[in-house]
Amino acid sequence: MNDLFSSASESAREEVSRLKATLTRANIDYYQNSSPTISDQEYDRLMRRLQDIEKQYPELLTPDSPTQRVGSDLSSTSSASKQQRKAFQQIAHRYPMLSLGNTYSEQEIEDWLRHLPAGVEIVAELKFDGLSISLWYEHGRLTHALTRGDGVRGDDVLRNIQTIGSIPQVVSAELPDSFELRGEVLLPWEAFERLNKEREDNEEPLFANPRNAASGTLKLLDSKEVERRGLICYLYYLLGEDLPFDTHYERLEAVKQWGFPVSDAIKLCHSINEVMDFIAYWDTERKNLPVATDGIVLKVNNIHQQEELGYTAKSPRWAIAYKFPAEKQKTRLTSISYQVGRTGVVTPVANLEPVQLSGTQVSRATLHNEDFIRSMRIKEGDMVWVEKGGEIIPKITGKAAEADDDSTDYDYRFTPVCPECNTPLVRVEGEAAWRCPNRKGCPPQLQGKIIHFVSRKAMNIDGLGDETIAMLFGEGLIKTPADLYSLSHADLASQERLGSKSAQNILVSIEASKSVPWARVLFALGIRMVGETTARKIARRFPSVEALQWATREQLTDVEDVGEQIADNIIAFFNDTDNLQEIIKLKNAGLQMQVSEDRQASSSDLLQGQTIVISGVFSRHSRDEYKALIEANGGKNTGSISKKTSFVLAGENMGPEKRKKAESLGIRLVGEDEFLGMINE
């Protein structure tokens, strides 16, 4: 391997690591949290970039890459509640439930079509923007309804699917003994707007779009609430053995005749021109539909040709999705206001003359930072283009043509002071953001510390959402996290929208937080750059707050993943007398400021120097608990198998690609019981 290739590979390795982390986080936000943080188009751009690098450097392609697997919505993930994990049984798909390859380019659609066998027929369908579902029928009766899950297994949401009136529970027609139907669960625009209005009235977070609302609804534990919200479904694929007809189009027609909901927006195409006409028609007409759509799906019609074309690791070669370009509208930027985040970053916001985009009215959009505004030479009063990337987050994409782009006296000035506390802003060299330095007196920052403190991965205090914290803060009942432990039932019950029962539930959760282990308390303190994983590693090296308080810079940087900047942030935190007083209050309230004797007794160096990969489903502990046990015994968790892997902690349904990779490298598979024996548990 020559030096040029090595240099390029090292650069590519770093970019691949960043892309994997970004795409994995985006998958979690989209599939598990029903709260996407980037647009579909940005996600697809990053995915395409990752695919290109992996193609150029095959040694960087790993089985756990987002290019090799679909996003997972399984309720066994850490984002799901314990009730959800119990409520939804996980079942293996009979056939892998893959995602579709997609493009935003009509030229790429033409290229895909030209590479198919001569004379092939194509079925063009609308791509509905909802949640994928797999319906199993046995002897004419609906027996299971599985979400996509991770493509291999899905959550059985049968009782919630049974609330959708258009899906037959029993079919009387002459049908195959066993078959599967796949489709999309949707929340119509009208129901979506009604639901968001209810949430707005209750000061609950709004759903970004109907897809997220449908996803969140389908995982609710209350089937009556699911039914009230008004989900619908369109089915688009029939699977099974010995099925009638050898073409996809005929099968869909049969499914429709059997009484199932199938969209009428389907066309059997015999040429590229017919496909392009279908795309052009629905690019406009879809705006009149009662449900959200985001593109067109093209499928090879002949089932035997589908089988011959086969699959990639995560998508069929016989189908592709064309995504419609993001819808954009022209409107006037009436003013620019500023918002302060919990870390002090001040973000400019465009206030717009209201405009309809993707079925909703948009009147605000982010402007990111000063550099973004200056690069577009935007000012108040300009006509601008606004779009919803992937129908999620409104954003300004540029000035309209008639705007005064040639002006030479453009001189936009970012607000010089914090809009909340009037403190002069500062801008750190090398950063694009302006920050408010008033960490101890700026209301959004003070509230942000409390919001972080009560979050699930920190102290996990239920019932204290952003709005409730803002209300208690505004009443002067809390100023710091320690004040939570002085709240009384009367303090809470007297607040609007809480009442006696809610107050009692909050107090119970606050009391329960006193048993949260030291590592999570450390994370909850909100020391800059000390994330959840880093906090666990620090807590193992410094098993009490006193030990950490007196740690030197050299001792801190000896901890894995703790660099000089994090070490300096920790030292600065403990040099602040206000922080020390807060810690004393929290300690007096009964919080765990040191590793418990039980945990100290269970800690060891039995796994010191060993790198361990976890894969599969376990019965004795959750995956997160096993990660904690590995770290408590000196081991290191990693997500992908390599030559450096010591062994794989393998549960049931271990990923086939990981198993194959482990076997090829001679990596040992360790079962659940054997592992617990290794650490003397």
Active site residues: 127
* Residue whose C-alpha is closest to residue 665's, from 643, 646, 647: 643
Residue 617 CA to residue 631 CA, distance in Å, equals 19
* Residue 233, both tokens: 């479904």
Sheet holding 636-638, edge to edge: 636-638, 611-615, 647-650, 668-670
Residue 102 CA to residue 323 CA, distance in Å, equals 7
> H or E segment at 195?
helix 189-201
* Residue 463, both tokens: 């019932």
Cβ-contact 446, 344 below 8 angstroms: no
Q: Is residue 638 classed as helix, strand or coil in its secondary structure?
A: strand
Residue 642 CA to residue 59 CA, distance in Å, equals 11
Can you give the three-state secondary structure of 29-67, one letter per residue? HHHHCCCCCCCHHHHHHHHHHHHHHHHHCHHHCCCCCHH
Residue 389 CA to residue 38 CA, distance in Å, equals 8
Amino acid present at 67: T
Cβ-contact 115, 131 below 8 angstroms: no
DSSP letters along 10-35, please?
HHHHHHHHHHHHHHHHHHIIIIISS-
Residue 678 CA to residue 667 CA, distance in Å, equals 17
DSSP assignment, residue 483? G
Cβ-contact 523, 449 below 8 angstroms: no
Cβ-count burial of 372 within 10 angstroms (0-12 exposed, 13-18 middle, 19+ buried)?
Answer: middle
* Residue 313, both tokens: 């690791």
| Residues making up the chain, counted from first to last | 681
- The beta-carbon contacts of 566-575 under 8 Å, at least 24 apart in sequence, are 566/529, 566/530, 566/534, 569/527, 569/528, 569/529, 569/530, 570/527, 570/530, 570/538, 573/525, 573/527, 573/528, 574/548, 574/549
Amino acid present at 536: R
Residue 296 CA to residue 341 CA, distance in Å, equals 38
